[in-house]
Amino acid sequence: MSGHDYTPTLSNAPFAFTAENEALAQKHVAKYPPGRQQSAVMPLLDIAQRQIGGWLTEPAIRYIAGFLGMPEIRVWEVASFYTMYNLQPIGRHHVQVCTTTPCWLRGSGDIVQACEKHLGIKVGETTADGMFTLKEVECLGACVNAPMMQIGDEYYEDLTPETAVKVLKQLAAGETPKPGTQSGRHTSEPAGGATTLTSINRPAE
Ligand code: FES
């Protein structure tokens, strides 16, 4: 289960890119040949989502369709397919726990449980104070450091239930947890340290 909610929340708040975001959107559009501007739909949805505060409103979808000259339904198709787009308001911190096979084999079920218990919510819900939304997502491409979760734009890896909760506590306290591995190993090296290429042997001249 991805935890993705496909039911849009209706909002009539009008939407238009800020001048800065419009310039950014035009930069993405300019990457594609004339007539192929629709290829920029994904980054434009991302820009709109960040501008709104983490989710996409119906007026924003319509705006992007008009911006790119494409049917609204095509923009909806993209926005409702990918879990990176939220069609409902989310909390300030969007906690996405990967539960695909490599993370699952390394204990992602315990990570989900620890987050649910600590936050007092179930997957798909938002805390009453609006601080955290918890989601389950499919592989985020960091399997080598499984299990992991993404919060905002950062990855937290090599998690245990304890370190996952520690990250949540730091965020709740307004701190900035260190992203990446939480186990102390260096990036994706073996947990016990490097076992190959440990010295530099230059060929004799
Ligand atoms: S399976 Fe979790 S990051 Fe790939």
Q: Which residues contact ligand 1 via a Cβ below 6 A?
A: 98, 100, 102-103, 139-143, 146, 148
Distance 98 CA to ligand 1 centre (A): 6
**Mean pLDDT score, 98-114:** 98
Paired tokens of 48: 């709109």
Contacts of 168 by beta carbon, 8 Å cutoff, 6+ apart? 93, 95, 115, 118, 119, 132
- What rounded mean pLDDT belongs to the chain? 93
Burial (CB count <10 Å: 0-12, 13-18, 19+), residue 89 = middle
Pick the CATH number of 19-81 from 3.90.1150.10, 1.10.10.1590, 3.20.20.70, 2.40.170.20: 1.10.10.1590
Atom in ligand 1 nearest the alpha carbon of residue 100 = 1
pLDDT at 105 over 90: yes
pTM assigned to the model: 0.86
Nearest 5°: CA angle at 192, between 186 and 193? 45
3-class state of residue 157 by DSSP: strand
CB 56 within 8 A of CB 10: no
Å from CA of 123 to ligand 1 middle: 18
Supply the pLDDT for residue 197. 81
Residues 67, 170: Cα–Cα separation, whole Å: 39
Cα(97) to centroid(ligand 1), Å: 9
Over residues 189-200, the mean pLDDT reads 82
Q: What gap in Å lies between CA 26 and CA 24, rounded to an integer?
A: 5
* CATH topology assigned to domain 93-181: Glutaredoxin (3.40.30)
Task: Tell me which of 2-11, 21-30, 100-109, 150-159 is least confident.
Answer: 2-11
Strand order, beta sheet including 93-98: 132-137, 93-98, 149-151, 154-157, 180-181
CA max distance for the chain: 73
β-partners of residue 155 are 150
| Residue ranges of the chain assigned to CATH 3.40.30.10 | 93-181
- Can you tell me the mean pLDDT for 85-111? 97
Residue range(s) of every CATH 1.10.10.1590 domain in the chain:
19-81
- Whole-number Å distance, alpha carbon 100 to ligand 1 midpoint, is 6
pLDDT digits (tens, 9 = 90+) for 125-158: 999 999 999 999 999 999 999 999 999 999 999 9
Share of the chain above pLDDT 70, in %: 95
Ligand 1 atom having least distance to the Cα of 140? 3
Write out pLDDT tens, residues 79-94.
999 989 999 999 999 9
Of residues 193 and 6, the one with the higher pLDDT is 193
| 108 CA: nearest ligand 1 atom | 2
Q: pLDDT grade, residue 109 (50/70/90)?
A: very high
